[in-house]
Chain A
Amino acid sequence: LAKTTQPISMDSYEGQEVNITCSHNNIATNDYITWYQQFPSQGPRFIIQGYKTKVTNEVASLFIPADRKSSTLSLPRVSLSDTAVYYCLVALQGGKLIFGQGTELSVKP
């Protein structure tokens, strides 16, 4: 079962680009990498998912190197409303999501 490691917390300022890196050394060949965002007292919200190289959507980009042992979530020009906990996950094993501790991002004005 792939385990993820990510920084416990990060600070940023409005308008900056934020990159959160996640390590997943024993990721399996068929595993996808997924990022979720969670605000206090709310359920996690899907941000982005990828398998390799780069994926971009309207809110974020996900960079995955060739060895897939890590991945980086990139949030362009963050705002105060991006203050949240960000979780990196690998593999949906029959619908079972394994959440780590997540990264608490604090965006300051």
Chain B
Amino acid sequence: KAGVTQTPRYLIKTRGQQVTLSCSPISGHRSVSWYQQTPGQGLQFLFEYFSETQRNKGNFPGRFSGRQFSNSRSEMNVSTLELGDSALYLCASSSLLGGGNTEAFFGQGTRLTVV
């Protein structure tokens, strides 16, 4: 079956702009999580959606937001972009909400560069 698909793969934006990233989870998966990866901070959890509801949220400012649609596809939005938002944004899908024995599948990520 198809894996997790993230679009676009690469993006260049200027400071102050906003950006929307998209994630299509594996068919049948209802949980979608977002992560930011930077060389300095590593992989950091942004938020998780399950059945169109945000279930968990990481320690990021309100400029970072997301949503999930009825078909489980998810979007992440970053407003008023800052240079420090340059990162690889990763989406992961899983079949269950939490649970210790749930395997998460990651997409290839979207490389965002803010100039």
Please report whether the interface of chain B is mostly helix, strand, loop or mixed according to DSSP: strand
Minimum CB distance partner of B90 in chain A:
A43
Instruction: Report Cα–Cα, A91/B94, bound state, in Å.
Output: 14
- Kindly provide the distance from the CB of A66 to the nearest chain B CB, expressed in whole angstroms: 18
Q: Do residues B33 and A51 form an inter-chain contact, with CB atoms below 8 A?
A: no
Say yes or no for A45: interface residue by CB 8 A criterion. yes
Which residues of B36-60 are within 8 A (CB) of A? 42-45, 48, 50, 55-56, 58
Which residues of B75-115 are within 8 A (CB) of A? 88, 90-92, 94, 97-109, 111
Say yes or no for B4: interface residue by CB 8 A criterion. yes
By size class, the interface of chain B is: 20 to 34
Instruction: Report Cα–Cα, A48/B59, bound state, in Å.
Output: 28
Contact A43/B92 with A95-B33, A99-B42 known, Cβ cut-off 8 Å: yes
Interface residue from B92, B100, B104, B109 paired with A42 (Cβ < 8 Å): B109
Could you show 12 A-B contacts with beta carbons less than 8 Å apart? A32-B101, A41-B88, A42-B109, A43-B106, A46-B103, A49-B103, A51-B100, A95-B31, A95-B48, A95-B104, A96-B58, A102-B42
Chain A residues in 8 Å Cβ range of B97: 94-95
Which residues of A1-49 are within 8 A (CB) of B? 30-32, 34, 41-46, 49
Minimum CB distance partner of A31 in chain B:
B100
Residues of B at the A interface (CB closer than 8 Å) are 4, 31, 33, 35, 42-45, 48, 50, 55-56, 58, 88, 90-92, 94, 97-109, 111
Residues of A at the B interface (CB closer than 8 Å) are 30-32, 34, 41-46, 49, 51, 87, 91-102
Q: Do residues B92 and A97 form an inter-chain contact, with CB atoms below 8 A?
A: yes
Chain A residues in 8 Å Cβ range of B35: 97, 99
